[in-house]
Structure 1
Amino acid sequence: MLLPASQQFSKIIPTVILLFAYILAFYFLSLSVTKLPLSIVYGSWAGLGVFSVAILSYVFYDETYSWQAIIGLFMIVIGVSLVNIYRA
């Protein structure tokens, strides 16, 4: 979400916050992998990342979505939930 605000890394403050957020996210991802299977962690990371960016883009950048896209986003959430509930 900070990538557009950094304006191709020309704005220092959003760029520094962006880099810190990426480092923090990968740190927590590496912690998660020590406790859970990689397939579960990565699937959840990817799916919920897409969902979160879509929601935040709607709120902060006024993006619009078709009803098909909205159904797809909810299917991502349902899929990630099912994988986490019924993991082996």
Structure 2
Amino acid sequence: MLRTYLLLTVAVLFETFGSTCLQASQQFTKLWPTLGAVVGFAGAFWFFVQVLKVLPLGITYALWSGLGIILTAISGRIFFAQKLDAAALAGLGLIILGIAVINLFSKTATH
């Protein structure tokens, strides 16, 4: 199961990289960030599919998208100086809480 969560982490990191490159590509007008976005999303989906061999789709997608949202928000802050207001931070906190509930209390996540 540890291997599965490591693969999921790699998928999330690829997705975060792809999303960051997507912003940097300025609507696909810059070559290298555009290629980075393609590589990032291709890697994300490939690792996502590997995780689906072990975890159910709903759980996998909830974890992948939730962690991706959080890391992408952090990336936006670091690389693009995008600030989050209190409501956005509260929402991110709820996502983190939801991920914790899934991992700590759901028996679905262990199948």
* 1:73 maps to 2:92: yes
What's the secondary structure of 2:53's corresponding residue? helix
Q: Find out whether 1:16 has 2:16 as its counterpart.
A: no
| TM-score where L is the length of structure 2 | 0.73
Q: Mind listing any 5+ residue stretches in structure 2 that lack a counterpart?
A: 1-19
Percent identity, please: 34
Size of the aligned set, in residue pairs, is 88
Task: Structure 1: give runs of 5+ residues left out of the alignment.
Answer: none
- Structure 1 length normalisation: TM-score? 0.90
1:6 equivalent in alignment to 2:25: yes
Please provide the CA RMSD for this pair.
1.2
Matched, 1:86 2:105: yes
Higher relative contact order (CA 8 A, sep 6+): 2
Could you tell me which amino acid in structure 2 is paired with residue 72 of structure 1?
G
Is the aligned partner of 1:56 residue 2:79? no
Establish whether residue 39 from structure 1 lines up as the match of residue 58 from structure 2.
yes
Q: How far, CA to CA, are the matches of 1:4 and 1:29 in structure 2?
A: 22
> What is the CA–CA distance in structure 2 between the aligned matches of 1:33 and 1:59, rounded to whole Å?
31
